[in-house]
Amino acid sequence: MKLTKDQINDIKEQQSQDNKTKRVTAPELEKILYEALPALDHGFIRVIDYMGDDSSIVQSARVSYGKGTKQVSTDSGLIKYLMRHWHSTPFEMCEIKYHVKLPIFIARQWIRHRTANVNEYSARYSILDKEFYLPEPENLAAQSIANRQGRGDVIEGEQAKEVLELLKNDAERTYHNYETMLNQKYDGTTIDESKKGLARELARMNLTLNTYTQWYWKTDLLNLMNFLRLRADHHAQYEIRVYADIMLNTLKRWVPITYDAFMDYRVGGTEVSAKGKIIIQKLLKGEDVNIDNSGLSKREWNELMEAFEIKDKIV
């Protein structure tokens, strides 16, 4: 992770503030406010601002005054009820804003979650940093045969070295060409006084997708949980999962009661179809049920068996 001198100074200045407020605060989240939490080789996540806490959800659900119920156990019961029964609106009352530095190809995947306010570093106005994401060898994997979106076995040995060299050389070569077209180095110095630089909005199109970008990403608690439910899952792409895992920890610091309910009902829980419910009921009664008489496809059947860890029934 690399921070510019200006960013380091900004963080120190932000963390040195001693402001008083009448609004609710999350003490554990306050401890890491503005801090750059490392992600991948050059990336980071910073919590820039937030609004509300667990009591804000309770207050919204009851439309009451003040901080809501004083007893944590009562608040916990209500939040679990809301989570269990998919009453989503109270969770929208809390918001959080992140500063994220990430590779462009992950940013393009991330932006598919269209429920946030995003302001990205503009390569039309500024020169992108000379930083590229290069995977660790253990994260170099072949294409999965079974899953078009996933990874298969890890690539090792000489082939792994060759892939890493290709990624590094391509990134460095295109960045060199980027500087040449701009007629500027990434530190702002001019390369050739006799030449005009190409417009930044045009020169940027030559860069590789592992180049780092940055953005501010603001969302409400409900949509943050929707994001994390998908991106912190083991099926998600490794690179975006790294960021999601860090954000999951900030969720725990921010709204610990909601975090526990989220991990229980959304992350650790499972959804069952009407047919799936009938199959589980029959299995509990000791009846003979198999894929042929279940009415489910092979994928549906295996997903159901995996969810309930009935390994001897997986086909």
113/93 Cα distance (integer angstroms)? 19
User: CA angle, 29 as apex, 24 and 31 as ends, to 5°?
Assistant: 115
Q: What is the maximum alpha-carbon separation in the chain?
A: 85
Which is it for the CA torsion 137, 143, 149, 151, positive or negative? negative
217/97 Cα distance (integer angstroms)? 6
Q: How many CA atoms lie within 13 A of 217 on its CB side?
A: 26
Of 112, 231, 241, 266, which residue is the catalytic one? Answer: 231
Q: How many CA atoms lie within 13 A of 198 on its CB side?
A: 13
Torsions phi, psi for 177 (to 5 deg)? -65, -35
Q: What is the DSSP string of 215-238?
A: EEEEEEHHHHHHHHHHHSSTTS-H
Torsions phi, psi for 89 (to 5 deg)? -55, -40
Task: Give yes or no for a contact between 1 and 42, defined as CB atoms under 8 angstroms apart.
Answer: yes
169/164 Cα distance (integer angstroms)? 8
The reply to whether 231 belongs to the active site is yes
Q: Which residues are catalytic?
A: 231
